[in-house]
A and B are shown apart, each in its own frame.
Chain A
Amino acid sequence: MRRLGLVALVLAALFPFYWAIVASLTPEAVLFARPSLWPSALTLEHWRALFGERAFWLPIRNSLVVAGATTLLCVSIGTLAAYALARLEFRGRGAILGFILAVTMFPQISIVSPLYLLLRELRLIDTYPGLVLPYITFAMPLTVWLLVGFFRQLPRDLEEAALVDGATRWQTFTRIVLPLAAPGLATTAILTFIYCWNEFLFALSFTLGPERQTVPVAIALFRGQYQVPWGQILAATVVATLPVAALVLVFQRRIVQGLTAGAVKG
């Protein structure tokens, strides 16, 4: 009974992906003709079109650049802030923590139009910095919040021993805390990357064409000449899923840890 439930669960989770892979290999003509669980005829036409005339490597490049840059920026700056918030005593700490948590729940739609006007003023519409800057609004609070959780879990003894031995705070931070926190930093980076890779509203609002569109925007705006090009769309969804699927397979334990660490009271 339980085993049956688990099999059903895995099937329900994975079937849409399987179906997308099958459809991306099915000729356009029979795509809606007679659906069958096993493909009757196979073709690579959709995949060829996707990377040929669609130039889908462009949005992939854009997504990698934007998500990568945002993650790098937020993790490096966020680590400093998170360490101070987790370990150093200072007035306003609680307020700043509350502020960070509140911003993680910010509705993007509430700031999309001023950001648009701001980016236009700075001539950053349809540029990489024009996406990285808005992405900070959700990526930075996320990294700081996750990292505060990780730093709090580290044992204090080593740091205190180093301080007693005459090391400065900065030395303690770079030589002892950072190496210890490396797994937490990696988890945070992975989660931040996934959130940036998936973002849609800002990328839709602040890009103008294929030169700078990210993967989700490019897929959502796919148009055919006469009808919806489902074969190509589904091939593209498979491509968009691959990097995330790889991260999930390799780092699932850590991802779950990071996801639940901030949310479950201990």
Chain B
Amino acid sequence: MTDRRLAWLFVLPAVGLVALVAIFPLGWTLWESLHLHDLRMPWRGRPFVGLENYLELLGDPRFRDAMLHTLLFAAVSVSLELALGLAVALGLDRAFRGRGIVRAAVLLPWAIPTVVAALLWRFMFESQAGIVNAALVSTGVVEEPVVWFVRAATAWVPVVLADVWKATPFVALLLLAGLQGIDRSLYEAAAVDGASRWWQLRHVTLPLLKPTILVALVFRTLDAFRVFDLIYVMTGGGPGTSTEPIALYTFDALLQNLRFGYGAALSVVVFLVTFTLALIYIRWLGAGESR
């Protein structure tokens, strides 16, 4: 058998399965988004309505808010994760005793289910007598315990913290791998020339680390944009819908309100944004491979 035939034989089962369970449903979602399909009103059938769902979406304040929440959440948590992740990576970028233990400890938050992370953090912020309030009151940061989950402004704090806690390890390990690919002689040369640590960081490390930083940025933005589990468990999108991200609104429209057509339109928007980000990422990676 020629290599070409064998290659297709090898590739086909995997690609076929993925096409069946991912691409086919995606096409279905696209088609559905052009229909009025509301299971609460079955008598209206499933008429083709063109872009009507998308037009409704433009004037839907809950959609606009959900988009805003998602972007805000992504911007804040991803920038915190990148800054902290860089600091951690720089700290770990040297052999020292107990490095294995540190790495395992840092890896643990990343490896556990998001649902578990969400519950651990919700518990620490829960109730006026939770550990966070106890710590804040006893150190005099606040006089009265804060009721975190009743207002949007305070409810975001535990949500973002939990995300940072869970995702920073991934960013740090990615950046660490990037750091270890940097030629050490560059630092030695800079040190011989009398360059300070700070100068080395700004003029050697960061420029050479840029590709890895960009990869981490896109990866994390993609994840943050799809945020669902974390907020479903921590606030349920509340109070009201004031912390509701786009994935949660879509889930609600589909499986709670059974508005399949409109929910599909929301799904398509989520997909398009993710896809754009993914394309950027693939182009970067492709550019790296051809070098």
Bound state CA distance, A201 and B106, in angstroms? 25
B residues at A contact (CB < 8 Å)? 1, 3-4, 6-8, 10-11, 13-15, 17-18, 21-26, 28-29, 32, 87-88, 91, 100-109, 111-117, 119-121, 123-124, 126-127, 129-131, 134, 165, 169-170, 173-174, 176-178, 181, 211-212, 215-216, 219, 222, 225-226, 228-229, 232-233, 247, 250-251, 254-255, 260, 263-264, 267-268, 270-271, 274-275, 277-279, 281-282, 285-286, 288-289
Q: Which residues of B contact A19 (CB under 8 A)?
A: 120, 123-124, 131
Bound state CA distance, A19 and B119, in angstroms? 12
Q: Are A80 and B10 in contact (CB under 8 A)?
A: yes
Bound state CA distance, A88 and B10, in angstroms? 10
Contact of B112 among A2, A23, A137, A241 (CB under 8 A): A241
Q: Are A101 and B282 in contact (CB under 8 A)?
A: yes
Q: Are A32 and B129 in contact (CB under 8 A)?
A: yes
A residues at B contact (CB < 8 Å)? 2, 5-6, 9-10, 12-14, 16-17, 19-20, 23, 32-35, 77-78, 80-81, 83-85, 88-91, 93, 96, 98-103, 105-118, 133-134, 136-137, 140-141, 144, 169-170, 194, 197-198, 200-201, 205, 215-217, 219-220, 228, 230, 233-234, 237, 240-241, 244-245, 247-249, 252-253, 255-256, 259-260, 263-266
Query: Nearest Cβ in chain B — how far from A257, in angstroms?
Result: 9
Contact of B263 among A32, A100, A113, A256 (CB under 8 A): A113
Known pairs A81-B10, A108-B226, A216-B115; A256 contacts B103 (CB<8 A): yes
Known pairs A107-B274, A248-B111; A260 contacts B177 (CB<8 A): yes
Q: Which residues of A contact B271 (CB under 8 A)?
A: 106-107, 110
Query: Nearest Cβ in chain B — how far from A137, in angstroms?
Result: 4
- Given contact pairs A81-B15, A263-B212, enumerate 20 new A-B contacts (beta carbons under 8 Å): A14-B105, A16-B120, A16-B121, A33-B129, A34-B129, A88-B7, A96-B11, A106-B271, A108-B226, A113-B254, A113-B260, A140-B14, A200-B115, A216-B115, A216-B116, A219-B116, A230-B126, A234-B123, A264-B215, A265-B212
Contact of B282 among A77, A102, A217, A237 (CB under 8 A): A102
Known pairs A194-B111, A200-B228; A78 contacts B14 (CB<8 A): yes
Contact of B1 among A35, A169, A201 (CB under 8 A): A169
Bound state CA distance, A116 and B212, in angstroms? 37
